[in-house]
Chains A and B, each alone.
Chain A
């Protein structure tokens, strides 16, 4: 059986070259990988390796220079969560969550019900009518996650969503994200800088090389689900963390691993 047929998303030989007044930047080069339905995958790599660019290409914000982005289902919605919560300051919490459905011109009562559901899901009941400036960083990011879920997207793209939060909030948000992911069964692709976050959350971790970005290594995280905070202290966890750290810090030692779909399905 060829797994790539069922992939929720396939990136094929993606190449992105930016050019502006200051010169040409080769952001991504011949990048291929795929995401299986309901899979939680983290992207990790040195700064400037094009992690965000990958998400932006998938979300349709950046046109790839060459290569393809293929969704299994052409109707798929993509939910995008930015590094900053990126809320509209003039909209109340619930109005921010409603925005994506408003743009689809759905009936008001449906929008209202769904928005309230998601606000409850991310634990912000009671804050529906607050303005973004009244929220903490973690709360704002929850609103952003609720907003990204309201269209019921098949694929959730998270660009370092917890990057600006303190360590404790960050771990709690990670647990909540897993909880939402398990309740809603989404395919998730998340960019992170944190090795332990990547291992704790994902089924697979994709390690990117520095620019131009390519998949350097794929790490399968065999930890059982549901994940619990205690798993961070398991020996398997530290082994994986070591592997990831080595791969990130000593690029030359870690042999580049081919990442085309055929290779992976045969391995």
Chain B
């Protein structure tokens, strides 16, 4: 069945992030094999470039050097400590930003009047890059974890908010009429119609938010922090320990990809009724 054309009553939220990108379903083993192949190719190219250019290690360290630096930073507990600091900022930001975005998004979707009042501020706030206000937040809330969680929350907030608004607004009017004709209570309409109908788009927003949250944390840590992977990058740069910078950057990528994959996994689990999309692709 077709879901009816979206009706936008609002002015500001016209964009949406597509729900679950519907990854093609290959056999997991084959997929892992492809992944391993592409990664070893990348490492090989990196190794060859570093070798042929013969640049000093503080400009371009080879993969071997980075690996040894990784083992070292693992053995003295440095990497784990900073990675955990960043991860907790990211997760806290994802939680608080996601929660605030969901609640406010739902209220905005339900009340076009509220959207007219708050909408301009939200759009204006989004036109300011987070990099620009991060120093301000660090000044106000100190170099500790609070300013980082705030920055993460702010970056997560907007995509979750938009996708909540769009998700709730795209609930087909015919289904709302159905619930109404069945004399459903507002709570029933919320749990049995709005939540499942908006979930695909909402989770798409959360997925984008998860990666943005990592960016937010690093930006905050680069501006001013005493721990975290962003801090580690600063330390490595200051000491010309470029291998350490590489280690931190790769760890960040691993965190971001893991979060993204976890949300994607939740999506495919929760949205199993959309399996036809995967079949079609």
Asked if A102 contacts B192 (CB within 8 A), the reply is yes
Distance, CA A90 to CA B4, complexed state (A) = 15
Closest chain B residue, CB of each to CB of A144: B178
Closest chain B residue, CB of each to CB of A105: B188
Distance, CA A56 to CA B184, complexed state (A) = 16
- Name, among A56, A86, A87, A90, the residue most crowded by chain B CB atoms within 10 Å (CB to CB): A90
Say yes or no: is A253 at the interface (Cβ < 8 Å to chain B).
Answer: no
A88 touches which one: B4, B188, B193 (CB < 8 A)? B193
Q: Which of A131-139, A165-173, A180-188 contacts B (4 or more CB under 8 A)?
A: A131-139
Asked if B183 contacts A82 (CB within 8 A), the reply is no
Residues of B within 8 Å of A80, CB to CB, are 178, 181
Say yes or no: is A103 at the interface (Cβ < 8 Å to chain B).
Answer: yes
Closest chain A residue, CB of each to CB of B185: A103
Asked if B178 contacts A86 (CB within 8 A), the reply is yes
Residues of A within 8 Å of B182, CB to CB, are 99-100, 103, 151
Take A86-B175, A90-B196 as given contacts and tell me if A134 and B276 are in contact as well, using a CB distance cutoff of 8 Å: yes
Asked if A82 contacts B174 (CB within 8 A), the reply is yes
Question: What 1/0 flags go to A69-90 for Cβ under 8 Å of B?
Answer: 0000000001010101111111
Question: What 1/0 flags go to A135-159 for Cβ under 8 Å of B?
Answer: 0000010000000000100000000
Interface residues of B in 156-179 (CB under 8 A from A): 172, 174-175, 177-179
B181 touches which one: A60, A87, A132 (CB < 8 A)? A60
Say yes or no: is B140 at the interface (Cβ < 8 Å to chain A).
Answer: no
Distance, CA A86 to CA B182, complexed state (A) = 13
Residues of A within 8 Å of B184, CB to CB, are 103
Residues of B within 8 Å of A134, CB to CB, are 276
Between A and B, 21 residue pairs with Cβ closer than 8 Å are A60-B181, A61-B177, A61-B180, A78-B181, A80-B178, A80-B181, A84-B174, A86-B175, A86-B178, A87-B1, A89-B273, A90-B196, A90-B197, A100-B182, A103-B179, A103-B185, A103-B188, A103-B192, A131-B273, A133-B1, A151-B182
| Chain B interface residues toward A at CB < 8 A | 1-4, 172, 174-175, 177-185, 188, 192-193, 196-197, 271, 273, 276
| Chain A interface residues toward B at CB < 8 A | 56, 59-61, 78, 80, 82, 84-92, 99-100, 102-103, 131-134, 140, 151
Q: 9 closest Cβ contacts across the A-B interface? A: A90-B273, A59-B181, A86-B174, A80-B181, A90-B196, A133-B276, A100-B182, A132-B1, A103-B184
